[in-house]
Amino acid sequence: DAKTTQPTSMDCAEGRAANLPCNHSTISGNEYVYWYRQIHSQGPQYIIHGLKNNETNEMASLIITEDRKSSTLILPHATLRDTAVYYCIVRVHGSGNTGKLIFGQGTTLQVKP
């Protein structure tokens, strides 16, 4: 079972920041937080991941709370092409651990003009 909780859906105005929350209150110390998105029926697209520090890349920023029980994915300037289902996933790294991703229902983000 997925170990994360996300809102089912969210709306965002085009050009504004989209803030997608994720609760992972049972996260273990060696589990990373990953974000993927799926646009329509395309293959899931990797966005960003982090362990405990905030992370930023060309797509998004990831803010992880100090207790690591929740995180927020930030798309700084949402466009219509960011409309997708966003998945927050926690998983362990390291050899010997199966790297399977456990997908929940995700958050459907609708960016509106």
Partner 1 sequence: DSGVTQTPKHLITATGQRVTLRCSPRSGDLSVYWYQQSLDQGLQFLIQYYNGEERAKGNILERFSAQQFPDLHSELNLSSLELGDSALYFCASSEEKTYGDTQYFGPGTRLTVL
Q: Nearest distance from residue 25's CB to partner 1, in Å?
A: 21
List Cα–Cα distances, 38 to 53, 85, 106, in angstroms. Answer: 25, 5, 10
What is the pattern of x (binds partner 1, CB under 8 A) and - over residues 4-23?
A: --------------------
Question: Which residues make Cβ contacts (< 8 Å) with residue 85, sequence separation at least 6?
Answer: 37, 38, 106, 107, 108, 109
Phi–psi pair at 79, nearest 5 degrees:
-120, 170
The residue from 53, 81, 98, 113 that contacts partner 1 (CB under 8 A) is 98
Nearer to partner 1, 82 or 87 (CB): 87
Give yes or no for residue 102 binding partner 1 (CB under 8 A): yes
The residue from 41, 53, 66, 113 that contacts partner 1 (CB under 8 A) is 41
Spatial distance between the Cα atoms of 13 and 6, rounded to a whole number of angstroms = 20
Give yes or no for residue 65 binding partner 1 (CB under 8 A): no
Spatial distance between the Cα atoms of 63 and 36, rounded to a whole number of angstroms = 15
Give yes or no for residue 105 binding partner 1 (CB under 8 A): yes
Contacts to partner 1 by CB under 8 A: 34, 36, 38, 41-46, 49, 87, 93-95, 98-105
